């Protein structure tokens, strides 16, 4: 498998995403990248199904996606944007280092499709600041400011 070329492919599926992100089941929380402007913005998709392992305990009879996993999925989407800018992305990993001003607006349930829109606010050396929003059917369900660092594996 060669290195994914995000800029030429335009849309990345889970196979291409796994070529950049180290996450795997059950912690790969992005299904597709549908838009990518290098070091500017990215849009990712997560299809939420009842088969998600976290629904077993959150909550029996009333499944709701944990907010922290929505934020993690948003961070993974942002990680795709910043890894794509690296010279040898497979040799790097993005560590999520912080979150601020996170707000959860509506619950996310099985059958929902999350659309993550993440914009790069600042990138200096290996530190990045991003602003992310998550939508279901054009309704804002979560938003927050994220920070991360890019390190060698």
Active-site residue list: 58
Residue bearing tokens 């497979």 = 90
Distance CA 77, CA 133 (A): 11
| CB environment 99-111: b (16+ within 10 A), e (fewer) | beebebeeebeee
Distance CA 83, CA 102 (A): 23
Tell which residue, 136, 132, 128, has the closest CA to residue 107.
136
């Amino acid at each position: 498998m060669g290195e994914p070329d995000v800029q030429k492919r335009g849309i990345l599926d889970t196979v291409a995403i796994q070529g950049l992100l180290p996450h795997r089941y059950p912690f790969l929380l992005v299904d597709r990248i549908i838009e990518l402007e290098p070091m500017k913005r990215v849009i990712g998709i997560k299809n939420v199904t009842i088969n998600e392992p976290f629904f077993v305990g959150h909550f029996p009879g009333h499944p709701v996606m944990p907010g922290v996993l929505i934020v993690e999925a948003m961070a993974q989407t942002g990680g795709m944007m910043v890894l794509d800018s690296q010279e040898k992305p497979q040799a790097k990993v993005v560590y999520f280092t912080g979150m601020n001003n996170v707000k959860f607006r509506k619950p996310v349930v099985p059958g929902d499709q999350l659309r993550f829109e993440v914009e790069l606010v600042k990138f200096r050396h290996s530190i990045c600041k991003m602003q992310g929003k998550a939508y279901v059917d054009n309704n804002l369900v979560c938003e927050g400011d994220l920070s991360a660092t890019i390190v060698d594996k």
